[in-house]
Amino acid sequence: MKLWIAKCFLLMAVLAGGGQAAAQANLEINTPGIAAIQGSMQKRHTELAPLYGSGAVGLTRDGNVALRDPASVPLAQRAAVNTLIAAENQDRAALYREIARANNHPEWEAEIRSTFGQRWIDRAQSGWYTQNAASTWVKK
Amino acid sequence: MRLARLCVAALLLCLWGIVGHTQQITLTVDDVTGAGFSAQGIRLTFVGGGTTAIEIGALKFGEQSWKNIRLDCNLLRLEREGVACDDGTLMLAEKIPLSFSYLTDKRVLNVVLKPAKDETWQLNLRPAKGGKDVSVKVAGGSVLRFLPWLPGSMPKLNAGVLNGAIEYNADGRISAKLNASNLGFADAAGLHAGEKIGLTIDAQVEPAADTIRWNTSVTWTGGEVFWQPVYLKAALQQLSAEGRFDGKALRVERGSLKYPGVGDAAFSGTYDLAAKQLTQGRVSAPSIRVAALYESVLKPFLDGTLFADLRTEGRVSAEAEVNANGLQRVDVRLENVSFEDKAQHRFALFDVSGNVPWRAEAATQADITVKGGELLKMPLGAFAVPLAMNGARFELKQLRVPLLDGQIDVRDFVARSDADGGYWQFTGGVSGISMDKFTAALGVPVMYGTLDATLPMVRQEKSTLRVDGALSLKVFDGTIEAKNLVLLDIFGKAPRVQADVVMRNLNLEMVTRTYSFGNISGRMDSTIIGLELVNWEPVKFDARLASSAGNYPRKISQAAVQNISALGGAGAAAAIQRSFLRFFEQFGYDKIGWGCKLQNTVCEMSGVAGEDKPQGYVIVKGGGIPAITVMGYNRQVSWQELLNRIKRVTQGNIKPIVE
């Protein structure tokens, strides 16, 4: 009986805390800030797409992008690719933050990030590399 | 160790005779230890016919250890002159063909290892006065053999071939001439990597009283290196240095870096090994080409800043000195340095020249002159920058930059940096700039009048820019004041601006002439409270426009009436009493009033205060003859729809239709 009550409380805590953001956050919300970030990401995508295709860059579980296979990027282009990745991750962090802010729940940022992380991975084109639950690179 | 070796030698010679008569003799030797070296479980097996095996159970050399090493020699020749093995095999981690000879009378040991095809390592030990001379010669040596000795923290070597020789003399002199080619390294993250690197290394070490004198020269002959964020290609860059080492400090007495195409630098310094600190250092780089320095060294560090893509020219000379307390002196001399924002043309400075003599603990003054420049495509005139410096504090009493036909004034600029980061502030303004030239240069609708603005106090801390007091601007014969102005995250992706704006007594004739809106004569006050911009787009404000108090001609043209009506939506246009008013070009009015409270992308509109009618609100209250009243009926409009209407109206897409 006691265990059952404890389980109920645990379930309630999970629903009230962690699950709430994903369930209630409006991920499609639009503000000028979000539009600006999305515009900047969209512009960058034309440069990132061939790197996803070649497997040089992959999508991480935590909603970022990462240099998966450095050896496939010539040294002369390494800095530009690293800059591209850093800028993309900066935008992604800003996007998660802005969406949380626009939902009037800045504290949801981490969960919005993980929801988006899964979303990007689900939407990745075949042939791209994404991280699985064990953070291992898998070709989609 | 020496005793053990003597015993082994004696035993070997004694056993030689015995082996001739028996099938096999096995001999076990005690452990042998020496400085940084130990061998355990040594076993020698002599088989008839000269075949010999030497086994070592465990060998330790420095930090490295091996187990079960075996040296097989097919024909060990034991002769009067010495011992030789022409055809041996060393079983280490791999099988390494080996030959050696030891001349007993001359006490010369020669060992040749051929671990791979085209790879030879040759060791030669010979007695000399006071000890032994040692030489190591390598041809086609793989650098990967050093992997176990390299610290795991550095990027991993993945290729490379060594050729050359190292000579050690019994008197302590060491000289090395080495040539590395096809050298490669990389770390897992790909942030540090090198490919096909060629280096020639020349180094000498020579003992002197209490110290060691050393000199070295390294030339980078080929390949490329990426060391986040810098990418460099070999261009025969040469690093040379000489100095002393006394066990406590490494002293560079003369150092030089030659970088073909960029320039040369000279350096010296002392590094304290116990304190792990540079206790004294000096570097001087005369006449460096700014363009080459920018492209190959600076640019990668400036990515993402205003200076990410510049066209540069000119020369710069620099000298710097450090001691145990840190940077003490920097002297920079600029010679006709020019730079401009290559792609976006946001700014440029031409022919910047002068000296910047910075001292850590003294007040100095930089005298910099600038011959001209550009700001947002507007020409800047010549100006001087009398920058006063005192350690981490920089001050500029007055800076006057000519812009178009007026000037930008910066007064009492103070910048300082401390442990918490940077901070700067200034007061100033712009004055005497013709609005028509200014607006034409910015590519916005041409306005008339003179631009005079006062900046009371601008402060920047971290990524927030704050304007204390009111930023006031004189335009359209009136004033615009921005108060409580705060810019957050201004260099970020979604900069935010907060302000309250008050406009007084704007000449409506000048305003309406600027935007093709039809003509209104009169005066207008406006307040925008709680203005909030995100990424330079308004998300929130409470704005009100109202006719200024006082006596002045109040006329509004037919076209302006139509446009105001259009702003209010289709309903408002119907309010015009078309029947007879269409014959008039302009009308009289008593008051104009309009409000928009923007929140959640919706603008809540209102009209002249106290004039609301049951069916709507009054935007233009008629007065005089002929009078006209314009009403608004829709109280709520989406901000985007209102913007579209304003755009259509100001672009003149709506022609007044007078029926």
| A137, A70 Cβ separation under 8 angstroms | no
Does the pLDDT value for residue B331 go beyond 90? yes
What is residue A16's predicted lDDT score, i.e. its pLDDT?
37
Residue B547, beta-bridge partner list? B524
Task: Tell me if A94 and B189 make a contact (CB, 8 A cut-off).
Answer: no
| Range in A111-120, B551-560, B629-638 with the lowest mean pLDDT | B629-638
Sign (positive or negative) of CA dihedral B8, B10, B14, B19: positive
Q: How far is B189 from chain A (nearest CA, A)?
A: 7
**Quick check: B537 and A37 CB within 8 A?**
no
pLDDT digits (tens, 9 = 90+) for B621-651: 888 777 778 888 888 888 888 888 877 776 6
Q: What is the mean pLDDT of chain B?
A: 85
Shortest alpha-carbon distance between residue A17 and chain B (Å): 27
B157-181 confidence digits (pLDDT tens) = 999 999 999 999 988 899 999 999 9
| Strand ranges for B30-186 from DSSP E | 32-34, 37-47, 52-61, 64-73, 76-78, 82-91, 95-103, 108-116, 119-128, 131-142, 156-168, 174-186
Q: Give the C-alpha distances (Å, rounded to integers) separating B360 from A90, B284, B326, B424.
A: 36, 17, 9, 19
| Whether A79 and B494 lie within 8 Å, measured CB to CB | no
pLDDT digit string, tens, across residues B102-134: 888 888 999 999 999 999 999 999 988 888 899
Q: Flag whether residue A94 sits within 8 Å of chain B, measured between CB atoms.
A: yes
Degrees (nearest 5) of the Cα angle B185, B188, B192?
50
The pLDDT-based confidence of B435 (bands split at 50, 70, 90) is confident
Mean pLDDT computed over B234-246: 95
Whether A83 sits inside 8 A of B228 (CB atoms) is no
Reply yes or no on whether the pLDDT at B575 is more than 80.
no
DSSP notation for B88-117: EEEESSSEEEEEEEEETTTTEEEEEEEEET
Residues in chain B: 659
Dig out the tokens for B46 from the structure: 């002599």
The pLDDT, as a whole number, for residue B249 is 93
- B537–A32: do the CB atoms touch at under 8 Å? yes
Output Rg (C-alpha) for chain A, integer angstroms.
18
In three-state secondary structure terms, B291 is helix
Cα dist. B529→A6, B101, B406, B535 in Å? Answer: 52, 96, 31, 19
Which of B531, B533, B534, B539 has the most A C-beta neighbours within 10 Å, making it the best mutation to test the interface with A?
A: B534
Q: For residues B465 and A66, is the Cβ–Cβ distance under 8 A?
A: no
Are B535 and A36 in contact (CB < 8 Å)? yes
In contact, B369 and B394? CB cutoff 8 Å: no
Q: pLDDT band at B51, cuts 50/70/90?
A: confident
- Please tell me the pTM assigned to this model: 0.71
Which residues in B lie closer than 8 A to residue A70 (C-beta atoms)?
A: 186, 188-191, 193
CA distance B537 to chain A (A): 7
Residues 28-87 of A with CB under 8 A from B: 31-37, 40, 67, 70-71, 73, 75-76, 78-79, 82-83, 87
Q: Is the pLDDT of residue B202 over 80?
A: yes
Strands (E), B209-276: 211-227, 230-233, 237-245, 249-259, 263-272
Strand partners, B281: B269, B322
The whole-angstrom separation of Cα B11 and Cα B608 is 119
Residue B186 tokens read as 């990389």
Residues of chain B with pLDDT > 70: what percent? 91
Q: Decide: helix, strand or coil at residue A49.
A: helix
C-alpha angle B416-B418-B420 in degrees, rounded to nearest 5:
120
As given in the structure block, the two tokens for residue A99 are 């969406």
- Which phi and psi angles does B10 have, rounded to 5°? -65, -45
pLDDT for A118 equals 92
Probe site for chain B from A78, A92, A96, A137 (most B CB atoms < 10 A): A78
Report the residue from A40, A73, A83 with minimal CB separation from B493: A40
Compare CB distances from A78 to B226, B233, B539 and report the shortest one's residue: B226
Contact yes or no for B468/B456 (Cβ under 8 A): yes
Q: What is the pLDDT of residues B76-108, one digit of tens each?
A: 888 888 889 888 998 877 888 999 898 888 889
Mean pLDDT rounded to a whole number for chain A: 82
**Residues forming a β-bridge with B46:** B25, B52
The predicted pLDDT at position B234 comes to 93
Query: Does A31 contact B224 at a Cβ distance shorter than 8 Å?
Result: no
Residue length of chain A:
140
pLDDT tens, position by position, A46-100: 999 999 999 999 999 999 999 999 989 999 888 889 889 999 999 999 999 989 9
- Pick from A67-76, B208-217, B533-542: least confident: B533-542
Which residues from chain B sit within 8 angstroms of residue A36, using beta carbons?
A: 493-494, 534-535
Judge if ipTM > 0.85. Answer: no
Per CB-CB distance under 8 Å, the chain B contacts of A75 are 193-195, 224-226, 231
Contact between chains at A32 and B303 (C-beta distance less than 8 A): no
